[in-house]
DNA sequence: CGTTAATCGGACAATTTTATCCGAAATAGG
DNA sequence: CCTATTTCGGATAAAATTGTCCGATTAACG
């Protein structure tokens, strides 16, 4: 469904959001530890999210990553997915035709766009804040 | 969403079904031409589907691929996807946790399983026959 | 029986994705 | 100013996916 990079990116963002709620800034090492991901690869993804203004990074000692309180609610999953995986999942044909277009649809088009639009809607409506809350109350987990 | 192999596999299967409705057996070359896919790679995928008893192959001159009339209705997309991509898409965690399990869910679990089960249901309920029919009446296309 | 046309199967190659390494730049704190 | 700690950015490596090649096998047909 999502690329590994995107999965790590979402998990990392949720963890950063959780810690930012308590004013803590976190390092790549801590993030990778807490979400069980490869450190250097995670660092690359965080750079990408930082450049996309989804998370905020601070260099030097006491530096690390954080998410502004306001962004915690306004940043939705669809932004993270788009920043990392592009918009293939929102626009692409389920059977791999070069373009998905109702004027010349693939055999699966009608059924596929239903699913795709549900997924898209779900990602658009899900904020980091919401996901971080589930974590905070101990209902959900970022590794197992 | 699906791998390239799976996309080609579905497109090929639908084309074979369409031709089998008229009693025509088709070669890899014709299939690859009609669905716009790499020939040798497509051949590999067809072998896989043949071994999974989803399509039927015949060697030698006048040989090729076909789908028995009965199978055309009983073969659903979920079988093709499972044969090629495995069941990650049916069982895997959306955020990449090692296992998807409601007892220790990831932050996205509840929302993700909804989408996943809709997708799963759609694939389970869609037959090759149904898709081939859309093609036959000129409503849908396998390449663009 | 020999030729020809087709799939089968294994080895190989190219590309993309995932992952690692390391030096550079920034900055807090002594 | 100096040192230590952190992200940044580019090069590189490993693994997985995608794609190619070719000889073996099968079978139709003259
Ligand atoms: S054309 Fe295939 S999903 Fe729209
Ligand atoms: S645990 Fe992540 S989707 Fe179920």
User: If you write DSSP's letter for every residue of B1-15 in order, what string do you get?
Assistant: ---HHHHHHHHHHHH
Structure confidence at residue A114 (pLDDT): 98
pLDDT, one tens digit per residue, over A88-138 is 999 999 999 999 999 999 999 999 999 999 999 999 999 999 999 999 999
Query: CATH for A4-84+127-136?
Result: 1.10.10.10
* pLDDT number for residue A120: 98
Return the H-helix or E-strand segment holding A103.
none
**Backbone phi, psi, residue A57, to 5°:** -120, 150
Q: What are phi and psi of B91, to 5 degrees?
A: -120, -20
Find all residues with CB under 8 Å of A41, minimum gap 6, and list them: A5, A8
pTM: 0.95
Q: DSSP state, A112?
A: H
**Per CB distance under 8 Å, which residues of B are interface residues toward A?**
1-2, 4, 7-8, 10-11, 14, 77, 89, 92, 94-99, 101, 104-109, 111-112, 114-115, 118-119, 122, 126, 131-132, 134-135, 139-144
Residue B113 banded pLDDT, cuts 50, 70, 90:
very high
Q: Which of A92, A104, A105 to mutate to test the pocket of ligand 1 (most atoms within 8 A of CB)?
A: A105
CB A19, CB A81: distance < 8 Å: no
Please compute Rg for chain A using Cα positions. 17
Q: Degrees (nearest 5) of the Cα angle A140, A143, B1?
A: 90
User: How many whole angstroms separate alpha carbon A38 and alpha carbon A136?
Assistant: 24
Average pLDDT (A36-48) is 98
- Bridge partner list, A127: A76
Rounded average pLDDT over B108-114: 98
In chain B the first and final C-alpha atoms are separated, in Å, by: 20
Q: What is the mean pLDDT of residues B87-92?
A: 97
**pLDDT for position A49:** 98
pLDDT computed for residue B37 by the predictor: 98
B29: which nucleotide lies closest, measuring CA to C1'? C6
Confidence (pLDDT) at B51: 97
Closest residue (CA) to C1' of nucleotide C20 is A40
What is the pLDDT confidence band of residue B59, given thresholds at 50, 70 and 90?
very high
What does residue A47 show for φ and ψ, rounded to 5 degrees? -55, -45
Q: Which residues of B touch A131 (CB under 8 A)?
A: 107-108
Cβ of B143 near strand D (distance < 7 A): no
Asked if residue B52 keeps its beta carbon closer than 7 A to nucleic acid strand D, the reply is no
Average pLDDT over residues B47-56: 98
* B120: confidence class by pLDDT, cuts 50, 70, 90: very high
pLDDT tens digits, residue range B61-75? 999 999 999 999 999
Residues touching ligand 2 (Cβ under 6 Å) are: B 93-95, 97, 100, 105-106, 108-109, 112-113
The residue behind tokens 């790499």 is B38
């Amino acid at each position: 469904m999502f690329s590994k990079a995107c999965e790590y990116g979402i998990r990392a963002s949720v963890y950063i959001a959780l810690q930012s709620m308590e004013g803590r800034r976190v390092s790549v090492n801590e993030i990778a530890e807490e979400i069980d991901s490869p450190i250097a690869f995670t660092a690359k993804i965080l750079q990408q999210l930082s450049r996309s203004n989804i998370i905020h990074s601070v260099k030097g000692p006491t530096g690390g990553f954080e998410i502004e309180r306001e962004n915690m609610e306004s940043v939705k999953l669809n932004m993270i997915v788009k920043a990392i995986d592009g918009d293939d999942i929102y626009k692409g044909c389920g059977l791999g035709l070069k373009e998905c277009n109702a004027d010349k649809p693939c055999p699966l088009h009608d059924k596929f766009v239903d699913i795709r639009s549900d997924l898209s809607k779900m990602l658009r409506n899900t904020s980091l804040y919401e996901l971080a809350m589930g974590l905070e109350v101990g209902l959900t987990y970022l590794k197992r």
